[in-house]
Amino acid sequence: MALTPLLPIEQALADFSPGLPFAVAFSGGADSTALLWACASRWPGQVRAVHIHHGLQDAADAFEAHCRSLCHQLGVPLSVRRVQAGHAPGQSPEDAARKARYAALTEAVQSEWPEVQDIALAQHADDQVETLLIALSRGAGLPGLASMPSHWQRQGLDWHRPFLGVPGAALRQWLKSQRHGWVEDPSNTDENFTRNRIRARVLPALAEALPAFRETFARSAAHAAQAQEILNEVAAQDLAHIGVPPRIEALQRLSRVRQALVLRHWLRLQHATTPTTAQLNALLDQLTACTTRGHRIHLKVGVGFVQRAGQHLGWQAA
């Protein structure tokens, strides 16, 4: 007797093995609603939910009410966190909101459910393609082309994206087949946002020209992620050799591309900042020119300044 093939959402959950209990980031939209319903059904009594109330839209209170109602129906404990994500100069509102959202998710889980070590997010295959296309449009390097990981660790928690291989349309189709409702965020159709323009205009064209684009793009992102892991290992070895803070003479003995690699690694690891390509090239030029004791280095890099401190490079926050 032939076995019935698993639906995409069923296969995704079959491959998902979170520590129990775990939390789901729940906005009330279709994607996170599918994730919450599926997880609560598969692991009854083991799921918690966190809703982030951004306060950016008039409908935000209705989103919260919907989430409370569904969690009550499912018997899932819900924590609601309100954030006001103002963005710094040069920072996009989307990036500020994302960082505030992750901080609120972490705080909610660690303060209310200290036994929870895993958080599931509902990004899916279309989100992954959009992320890759945005990275390509910005001339990103391997970290950007690697797009979103399916699993990573941050602030003592394990984060998961179990639906990265599932198209968004499959999630909505499953919800409709189960007669589960969700809320529609009106900002998702606002084409002032790059991601929404890609979703509305580019993905349909790709589906027509390259029907397997979700799978092939995901494979390319995975290849980029593997290559970046190797580069991270090389950068870590070089940083151990040149020291922290970096010794200028030791840096100068490396090739320019390895200088760039280890400096990006140092800035990200030690100072949580990422230089632009122009900033990094300017710093590399200064390193090449730094042949006398009196040579001064003081360059804006990322969110601060890299400067010379004797025989080392130092960091000063802006």
Question: Please, which pLDDT band fits residue 200 given cuts at 50, 70 and 90?
Answer: very high
The beta-strand segments (E) located in 35-145 are 47-53, 78-82, 118-120
Question: Please, which pLDDT band fits residue 283 given cuts at 50, 70 and 90?
Answer: very high
Residue at token pair 């319903």:
37
Examine the pLDDT at 57 and tell me if it is beyond 70: no
pLDDT digits (tens, 9 = 90+) for 75-97: 999 999 988 765 555 556 567 77
pLDDT digits (tens, 9 = 90+) for 255-272: 999 999 999 999 999 998
Phi and psi at 309, nearest 5°, equal -130, 85
Question: Please, which pLDDT band fits residue 192 given cuts at 50, 70 and 90?
Answer: confident
Examine the pLDDT at 41 and tell me if it is beyond 60: yes
Q: How confident is the model at residue 2, as a pLDDT?
A: 47
Q: How confident is the model at residue 1, as a pLDDT?
A: 44
Q: What are the chain's domains?
A: 8-211 (3.40.50.620), 243-317 (no CATH)
- Helices and strands (DSSP H and E) totals, the chain: 13, 9
Q: How confident is the model at residue 59, as a pLDDT?
A: 75
Tokens representing 211?
A: 């029907």
- Closest Cα partner for 228 from 170, 132, 145? 145
Helix (H, G, I), strand (E, B) or coil at 160: strand
pTM, entire model: 0.87
